[in-house]
Structure formats: C-alpha cells, structure tokens
Amino acid sequence: MKKIDEYQGKKVLVMGFGISGINAAHLLVKLGANVTANDKATPKNNDIVEDLEADGIKVITGDNPISLANKGFDVVVKNPGIPYDNPLVAAFVKQGTPIITEAELGWQIFDGHLVSVTGSNGKTTTTTLTQLMIAENAKHQVKYAGNIGISFSKIAEGLGPDDTLVTELSSFQLLGAPTIHPHIAIITNIFSNHLDYHKTRENYINAKLNITRNQTKDDFLVINWDRDEWQKIAQRSQATIVPFSRLNKSHEGSYVEDGMIYWRGQEVMPTKDIRLIGPQNVENALAAIAAAKLSGVTNDAIKKVLTTFSGVRHRLQYVMEYQERLFYNDSKSTDIEATEVALQGFDRPVILLAGGLDRGYTFERLVPYFKKHVKAMIVFGECKDKMKDAGNQAGVPVIESENAITAVPEAWKLSEPGDVILLSPANASWDQFPSFEVRGDKFIEAVEELTGKKEQ
C-alpha cells in the first residue's frame, strides 16, 4: 500500500453502504480523514452501523439529506450505482465538490502493476482469465478486484510494488476515477448499455474510455478489433494499441486463423481446446492472452488456464448434464447482445429460458438466432409478451411461465436427449429478483431439485 497524505484532516462523505463503500470508509479513517457515511436505506443488519461507528465514523441512514451538501465536505466517495442526477449528488456537482468512486481511492493507494478491464460484456470472464494466466508465471502476488465483487481499495491495501492487480471496472466506476492509470487496459467490446444512467451512447463510450485517459505510449490498450467503430474508438487513446480479433488477422496482437490462436504471428493453441464454449469466450480468451503475453506469460501457462477454466458463475456457466440434457446458467445475459452470443455457442438444439425487466425495447434482433438455434422457449417476467412475439416470428414454440424457477420443469418436459436447457434472459432481473446472481442461483437450485444432483 502506498502511503498518501491527501486525505489527512479532510472531511469526506461516503455515499452508499455496499462492500466498496464500507471498505472505503474504513480506509479513509486510516488515511486520517474525518468520515461521514450515508446510505439512503436503513440497513437491516445493524452490525454494519455499529462497525462504522466503532471506527469513529458518523453514520446517517434512511435518506440522502440535501443538507449534507452544506456541511463543508472536501471530497465525496460515491457508490458507482448512485446516479449523478440524485439530488444530493447533483448539489455537490453544482458546488464543485470532487466526487470519486472507490476505484479511484484504490488506485491512489496502489503501488504495483495495474491491469484494468472494461467493456459491455465479457468483463468478469476476461478479468478472471487474465488474473489466472499472469498468476501462473508470477513470483509475486497477483490478485483481482473491482466490479467483480471485491473491493479494489481493500485488495490494494495488501499489495506492494512488485505485485499485480487485475481490476474489472464498470462505466459507473470509471466516471469517478479521474487519475486511474493502468499499464495495460482492456476494452472487451462496447454496445449500448446503461443509457438510463448515461443518457446517451456517446456519454457511455466516453465513460469507458476513461480507462485509457491517463495512458501514454509506454502503456497498452488491448481492444476488440472486430468492428470498425471500436477501431475508431482506439484512435482516441494515446497508448500503444494492441488489437485482439476473432475475425480479423492482425500481427500486432492476438487473433484466430484456421482454428488456431496466434500472438503476433506465433501459434498459441487451437480454439477447440478452450474449455469455455461460444465465440464470445474465444474473444475473452484473446483479450486475456494479449494482456498475459504483454506481462511475460508463457504459452504453457496460457494453455493450462484455458483448457481447465470452466467459467465464471452466471456467465454461460455449465451446471450439469442429466439424462443427456445439458444445463447452462447464463443469468448475467441482461441484454440482447449477450443472449445472441450465448446462442451462437451451441451446436445442439436449445430450449431457451428468457425474459425479465421491461426496459421498453423489443426483441426482433433475436429472431434469426431463435430460428437457427432454439427448439422451444419458456418466457417470463415483465417483457414475456415481447419475448413471445419474437419467438412467434421465428416460428418457435413458446410457453409462458411465472419466472426462471418455474420455467425449469417446463423446459424439462419439452426436452429430449441431446438438448441444451439454457437460462439466458436477455433482460435484467429486477422485476422478480434482487440481482442476476440471485436469479441464477435460484435457477441452479431448481435444476438440482429436478435432477436430484448438485451442480458440477
């Protein structure tokens, strides 16, 4: 951990009691700050409040009182999910109070080698693969943190100048990380996500590009080269560009040719040996390979990871095989693009479980994928009628169910040996579940109850 005095004697407001917020509050106390912690909700677990107060932190819950804007705070550390049009946040913006996220705080105290990953899809898998690959050859600590569910600042506290940290960073985090400077930055892809938060696609792209804002020619930006738009986006970085591509050969980076993965013209391994299924996971592997090779990792270490790693939970996760049916949990597919790539990963008939929060869009884009890959559909949630319309357009049998749990026995009734039963909702979970993680866990529990087996 790097010693800094930036917060010594400063008044700091931490907004949000998530894992990152709580860790940030405690860290700021160690850094000499006078800390107030605020959460709009009242925690059900009073231990959280007691723990904060025991560290000398003033705690305010149940509201984001606008009066806090007049208390003379020097800095606000905001939970990334709190929008900037929140009245209290907007008040701080208006008066020019610096607003950062916990990722910025983590960077400020980090003293090692930083690799950072962002993108619309594939962030967590790419982050995990990159960490595993670098760790295979490392003589020092190699950890991961960030949007992957582990506090950046908490992990950074325990690392030294020779250690490596691989961080997953969301657009929300990057908006509040003005000085973050990874030596290797990865952009997996950019679609149109979180426009309810960012308002426009250009705002969303700009937030993603904050990952490379402070990079120089001595740093590296590893970026997907499979779309013209992404190639143009790369031109806005000052870093050395390292492309990865499943579709376009480029000797400057990692790519696929005739079923073989190459790094700068040298063979690495066949794509068929990657344990993760689907073209999106080939892309994730290519991104991780580029970062690993830039970090000095051997081909043998890369092969070991890619031939054994079976996936991150809820991200096209293999659950089990039962009576010649394969079950997959892809609850993290909360947008159309993610479900598109999930369906392309299977050469068996798919019984698709899909639906969820109605964000106002329809699903005509999925019709060609339904026609090619889907045998039958079970739809649920607020958007089930729109999902059903797309299934009908594709000529696919569609059954309505209450949710992702009740859909499992319905899918089983429709299945035959050789089929895939896939939860890939193409929608957020919030109409019926607190998170995509809970939705995926409940799906797995339903599969286990149906089969009498535990997930593999």
DSSP for 68-130, written as a single string: GGGS--SEEEE-TTS-TTSHHHHHHHHHT--EE-HHHHHHHH--SEEEEEE-SSSHHHHHHHH
Residues contacting 69, CB < 8 A, separation 6+: 88, 91, 92, 95, 97
The total of other beta-carbon atoms located within 10 Å of residue 181's CB is: 17
Mean predicted confidence (pLDDT) in 10-33: 96
46-56: per-residue pLDDT in tens? 899 999 999 99
pTM (2 d.p.): 0.83
What's the CATH number of domain 317-451, 3.40.50.2300, 3.90.550.10, 3.20.20.70, 3.90.190.20? 3.90.190.20
Cβ contact 129:309 at 8 Å: yes
Q: Which of 233, 135, 176, 127 has the alpha carbon at shortest distance from 24? A: 176
Q: What is the CA 213 to chain-centroid distance, rounded?
A: 20
Domain coordinates in residue numbering, the chain: 11-100, 103-308, 317-451
CA 312-318-320 angle, to 5 degrees, is: 140
Residue 456 has pLDDT above 80, yes or no: no
CATH number 3.40.190.10 given to 11-100: no
pLDDT at 268: 98
The CATH H-level superfamily of 103-308 is Mur-like, catalytic domain (3.40.1190.10)
What is the spatial distance between Cα 166 and Cα 168, in angstroms, rounded to a whole number? 7
Annotation: binding site: 119-125
**Which of 195 and 158 is assigned the larger pLDDT?**
158
Q: For residue 251, give both structure tokens.
A: 């000797």
d(CA 454, CA 456): 6
Report CA-CA distances (Å) from 425 to 23, 203, 277, 442. Answer: 32, 26, 18, 14
Annotated binding site for ATP: 119-125
Using one digit for the tens of pLDDT, what is the confidence trace for 402-425?
Answer: 999 999 999 999 999 999 999 999
Q: Please report the pLDDT score of residue 26 as a whole number.
A: 97
